[in-house]
Structure formats: C-alpha cells, structure tokens
Amino acid sequence: MADTLKEILLDSSRRPAVVTDLENLVDQEVSDKSGVSGAVIKTGFAAVKKIKPGIIGAAVDGLLDEFTGTLEPFYADFKAKGGGDFGAYLSGRGDEAADALLTVTDARAEKSSRDAIKKVYAKLRPNGKKNVEEALPRLGQLIDKHAATA
C-alpha cells in the first residue's frame, strides 16, 4: 500500500483515473452551488469551459503535481494520527488546507498569459476559500478511494 500522496495520485498507471475523478469532483462542486454566488461560479465555470474546451481536465492534470505536494504534509499528519477519513481530516483543518491549495491556483493565475482566464479567476477568487473548504470532504474521499487501490 502506498504511503504518500505522490505514490497514490501521481503514479502513471493511476494518474488518468485520478484526473478524471478530480474533474468530476469539480463538476459536482460547481453543480451544487446555489444562490447569487453559485450563479457567478456557474457562469464563470461555463465561460472557462467555453474559452477552451477540455481546459478543466488539462488544468487539473497540470496542477495535480503542485496540489499533491501542497497536500502531502496534511496526508503525512493524517497517516501519523492513524488514518481513517481523509475528507473529515481535511475538513477539520479546512482553513489551513484551503489556504494551501489556493496558493497553487493563485500563483498559476498570476503567471497566466490569458487575460480572459485571469479575469474569470479574479471574479471567482473572493469566494475561493469558502468553495475550496466546501470541496474538502469530497477531495478527501477521492484520495481515500485511490489510496485503497494504491
């Protein structure tokens, strides 16, 4: 059984399934949004997908190594404390985990040469932390699923 997120998520035999699952997670999280802020997220998400079809999967794949590295200390601590439900663990450290993940996307958005992407990201970013925190249980469950087969 794999002990690190790198072994679990980045293994070349599992990576395509991980990327697909993460893309589905993003779709589910966006779909679950409601209200005015949900409408903004859904509109921004649709705009990004329209600008470049396939961009979500490509973005997930392109960010996976950095996200994995960012989450590795959380996963090591989770394992050291006996494991269990990584989604619950991440939720319990939601503020810190969300900030860590957002440092990756903030840096990537800042480096982007696409003004449209920067504009959409800037519009979505104010609620980014809340949205990432809400996604942590599903993210942890997804990681648990892949850890079970690693």
Report whether 143 contacts 5 (CB < 8 A): yes
Burial class (CB in 10 A: 0-12, 13-18, 19+), 78: buried
Residue 67, H or E segment? helix 55-80
Tokens of 113: 């040469």
Distance (Å) of CA 7 to CA 21, 65, 68, 114, 149? 17, 11, 10, 32, 11
Can you give the pLDDT of all 150 residues of the chain as single tens digits? 678 999 999 999 999 999 999 999 999 999 999 988 888 788 878 887 888 888 889 989 999 999 999 999 999 999 999 989 999 999 999 999 999 999 999 998 888 888 887 887 887 788 889 999 999 999 999 999 999 988
Return left, alpha or beta for 136; rule: phi > 0 is left, psi -120 to 50 is alpha, else beta: alpha
